[in-house]
Structure 1
Amino acid sequence: MYWIKPLNFHYRVFCLMFNIGILACGVLVMPAYAETEPACSSGAAGCVEVGEWDISIGFGIGLRSNPLIDGDDLPLFVLPAVRYYGEHFFIDTYTGGYTFYDSGMHQLSAVATIGFDQLYFNTRNVGSLVVDAGPILGSSNNTLEEDEYQLDIGGITAGGRESSDNLVPESNESNAPLESPDWRAPIDIDQLHNRNTAVFSGLEWAYYAENWDGSLQLLHDVTAVHKGQEIRAALSRTGRIVNEFIELSLGFSWQSAELLQYYYGVEKDEVEDEALEYYASDGISPFVRLDWRRKIKGNWSWQATLHNRWLSPSIKNSPLLDEDSVLTLYVGGVYHF
């Protein structure tokens, strides 16, 4: 959606101010209005009963910004979701797992999920079907309470080589700010090697206490796409103001050098001029997310989501990028079958 680009500056300023305002309101308002709701009742929209399947589909309008040079923003229109929580096994759209320890407040699970960094390079992928593109919450059947329903329908170099200090310009290190964009122009992203989707597996620790949810995932690429690792962490607070349900989430993802080099690095065989090579180090990308929902009638509800991810220096200094954050906005209706 090219019309977004000319308004990019005002677009970003508005979102930054909005994020700051939401954080302040969340701290002041949520403790006063947070309530504990009764457990999920059969047929209630937004609930998943143990042993039952929940299939939903969202219809709305939204977009995810693309930080790549000349990258098209990714539209969000139809967001399907499939959820199931058994006594141990669970599936939540693009995440599945097995819980082998559950104390009620703490859970430990083996999980499998996918990476999202490839979505900026490929126009047809799972990124157009989900709001989330990074750390998530909600991989537990403790989210059965309607107030705490997670709106998930909804951010060493490759080949074992060491990072190089001889980047362009030669005086810059891999994470040093790049003053001039002139050297980036010759890189044609379409001529780079394919950035494929990686499948991760690992462990997840989850914490649940009334209106607080926490999640920590330790993940490793099991498909040998980049052989990297990722740590995803998030903390969310759910509150209710009359009939409006609000959830504020904060978190981060740490990604290894192998992972970031595969997606955002520039290898020697991808460019004719070796001065255009770029070798990424590991990095941490924080995020903030705000969800709003309101039940309409029957199985229908409204949903709105704002998600902003600030890219790590190792990513934003890549010559493939011209933006330092990824913004996702979505608003629409959700129907639960």
Structure 2
Amino acid sequence: MRVLQAATLLLASTWAFAGDKDTLDDGYVEQSSWRLSLAVGAGQSSSPLYDAANMPLYLMPDISYYGKVAFFDNGILGAGVDLSPHWSISLVSRLNPEKGYFYRWHVSRIPSMEYTFANMPTVSLDARTAEQQVSVNEVERRPTAWDGGVQLNAWFDDWTLRLNGWTDISGQHHGHELSAVAGRQLGTAWGQWRFSAGLFWKSENLMQRYYGLGPDEATYLPRYQAKASLQPELGLYWSLPLTDGWRMMAFYRYRWLDTAMTRSPLVEQSYQHSWFLGWSYRFF
């Protein structure tokens, strides 16, 4: 109830400050310049694993740079070229996000500013006894992996499309990931809204390295062999420009985890979600 009251007060104060403005942060990044924003508020990024704590979100940085070829965008480093006014292709690299679920504080668990939604798949999480579960505190530390890949972007009026193919270039899990994300932005008198839809496929090797059991882990359990996983995600992002540089923002993101993941003895929940409500200020 206190959280609901705080959110109501926060929104009420926003309407009081929002009005006619000559200069607003429209989110655009000029070529060969840095963008730095910081959001302050309240939120959470959950972990679906046994005994893995949820990560509180109080501060959310937004850092990006786009040159003529090279760019950095919130943890993704790449270089790309425009194929046409509506299409671009890039070589990209990133820190693999799977390890983040095993820790309360991990940089890969900070949600990006892109949110997705899709049709809900069939998922199940069978009731397990304590003898069928294993805590993240009882298994070996999962590796930090670095992925490389290709990214294809497209823009059509208010619609966007992003296709990614990732592979492990650090030799830690020898797996791959494919994703497709489509989104639409809508401007209203009540702020800017962004809806998107995405689907994420993760290979068997990737899933086994992070959610399978090694030969020396939880020896009292049958060996679990992970399969390739297909994970859709839905999300909604909202922002309301205030004065120069300031905006009110909120988002909610929900990802369904299929049986390839939920059957792992490490996994307690059949979903992962993140939410945040606060203010954002763009420094430059």
Q: Return the TM-score normalized by structure 2.
A: 0.84
Q: What CA distance in whole angstroms lies between the structure 1 residues aligned with 2:104 and 2:123? A: 30
Structure 1 partner of 2:201: 254
- Are residue 288 (structure 1) and residue 234 (structure 2) matched? yes
Q: What CA distance in whole angstroms lies between the structure 1 residues aligned with 2:129 and 2:159? A: 47
The one-letter amino acid of 1:64's match is: S
- Are residue 225 (structure 1) and residue 206 (structure 2) matched? no
Mapped contact 1:302–1:332 kept (Cα < 8 A): yes
Q: What CA distance in whole angstroms lies between the structure 2 residues aligned with 1:268 and 1:321? A: 18
Mapped contact 2:239–2:249 kept (Cα < 8 A): yes
> How far is the alpha carbon of 1:263 from its aligned partner?
1.0
Listed one character per residue, the Cα deviations across residues 68-125 of structure 1 (whole Å, up to 9, x for unaligned) are 1233211111111211111221110101211134311111111111221111102231
In structure 2, the CA distance between the partners of 1:176 and 1:297, relative to structure 1 (3 Å rule), is closer
The one-letter amino acid of 1:91's match is: F
List structure 1 segments (4+ residues) > 4 angstroms apart after TM superposition. Answer: 175-180, 183-186
Structure 2 partner of 1:266: 213
- Are residue 91 (structure 1) and residue 37 (structure 2) matched? no
Q: What CA distance in whole angstroms lies between the structure 1 residues aligned with 2:82 and 2:202? A: 27
- Are residue 73 (structure 1) and residue 54 (structure 2) matched? yes
Structure 1 partner of 2:257: 311
Structure 1 partner of 2:129: 182
- Are residue 204 (structure 1) and residue 204 (structure 2) matched? no
Match of 1:326 among 264, 272, 277: 272
In structure 2, the CA distance between the partners of 1:42 and 1:83, relative to structure 1 (3 Å rule), is farther
1:110-121 aligned within 5 A: 110-121=91-102
Q: Which runs of 5+ in 2 are unaligned?
A: 1-21
Match of 1:46 among 24, 27, 35: 27
In structure 2, the CA distance between the partners of 1:76 and 1:178, relative to structure 1 (3 Å rule), is closer
Mapped contact 1:305–1:330 kept (Cα < 8 A): yes
Structure 2 partner of 1:15: none
Match of 2:191 among 234, 244, 259: 244
The one-letter amino acid of 1:293's match is: S
In structure 2, the CA distance between the partners of 1:42 and 1:48, relative to structure 1 (3 Å rule), is farther
Mapped contact 1:254–1:283 kept (Cα < 8 A): yes
Identity %: 26
Structure 2 partner of 1:16: none
The answer to which structure has the higher strand fraction is: 2
| SS of residue paired to 1:270 | coil
In structure 2, the CA distance between the partners of 1:180 and 1:124, relative to structure 1 (3 Å rule), is closer
In structure 2, the CA distance between the partners of 1:218 and 1:83, relative to structure 1 (3 Å rule), is same
Structure 1 partner of 2:139: 192
| SS of residue paired to 1:268 | coil
| SS of residue paired to 1:252 | strand
> How far is the alpha carbon of 1:189 from its aligned partner?
2.2
Match of 2:111 among 109, 120, 131: 131
**RMSD over aligned Cα atoms:** 2.5
Q: What CA distance in whole angstroms lies between the structure 2 residues aligned with 1:210 and 1:92? A: 22
In structure 2, the CA distance between the partners of 1:117 and 1:225, relative to structure 1 (3 Å rule), is same
The one-letter amino acid of 1:73's match is: N
In structure 2, the CA distance between the partners of 1:79 and 1:179, relative to structure 1 (3 Å rule), is closer
> How far is the alpha carbon of 1:185 from its aligned partner?
4.7
Q: What CA distance in whole angstroms lies between the structure 2 residues aligned with 1:318 and 1:67? A: 11
The one-letter amino acid of 2:55's match is: L
Q: What CA distance in whole angstroms lies between the structure 1 residues aligned with 2:166 and 2:32? A: 27
How many residues align? The count is 258
Q: Which runs of 5+ in 1 are unaligned?
A: 1-40, 133-150, 156-174
Mapped contact 2:79–2:90 kept (Cα < 8 A): yes
